[in-house]
Amino acid sequence: MKTAVIVFPGSNCDRDAEMALRQASGQDPAMVWHKDGTIPDGTDLVMVPGGFSYGDYLRCGAMAANSPVIAQLHAHAERGGYILGVCNGFQILCETGLLPGALMRNTSLNFVCKPQKLKIETSNSAFTSAYGRTSEISIPIAHHDGNYVADEATLDTLEGEGRVAFRYVGNPNGSARDIAGVISENGRVLGMMPHPERAIGGHEGGTDGVAMFESLMTAA
């Protein structure tokens, strides 16, 4: 499986993403600088990592959403490639229109950083199939703008089409309907605020992120 990580100025989880993809696939992912605008041919999965792209200036993910590489990201999605956006990556995917909704300031107005319990809403996706019958997992969170919002019609559509991947158990940020991660209409794009790439080795945040990358390897 060929993978890639998009790197923006201010990304700080790109190396975590690199390690997770290397562990899962056995190959080094391509590290794509955002101005290069080229995702290598044959790439199966692109990861848009967490951090503070452009220092979260203007609005989280807004400037990164206008980067040269975004056209390539859209093309990757249109040809059926997989995309995983985590934290700031989720914010960017919403800003680009690859996912619905937006991420707003936490209702507490505080940065939250802790292990977070999640309810797995579906195992019928390319991102969650390896979780099987597992109903709850623990994945680290670290964000200031993780409050997922969308209009009621969009939320109803996400629910009705089974596109809510994860919900918070004990909502840490005020997200609508406790939503922690959503999937695109074609099932190939997932955005989530929790960091599965920080839960693969046991020492940094458990191992509950491993099954997500195993799911993607199987799907690809």
Give me the active site residues, please.
87, 195, 197
Q: What single-letter amino acid sits at 85?
A: G
Q: How far apart are CA 157 and CA 86, in angstroms?
A: 22
Nearest to 76 by CA among 165, 197, 181, 189: 189
Q: How far apart are CA 86 and CA 203, in angstroms?
A: 20
Q: How far apart are CA 132 and CA 147, in angstroms?
A: 28
Strands, E assignment, 145-216: 147-149, 164-168, 179-183, 189-192
Q: How far apart are CA 81 and CA 68, in angstroms?
A: 18
**Burial class of residue 64 in the structure, from the number of CB atoms within 10 Å of its CB (0-12 exposed, 13-18 middle, 19+ buried):** buried
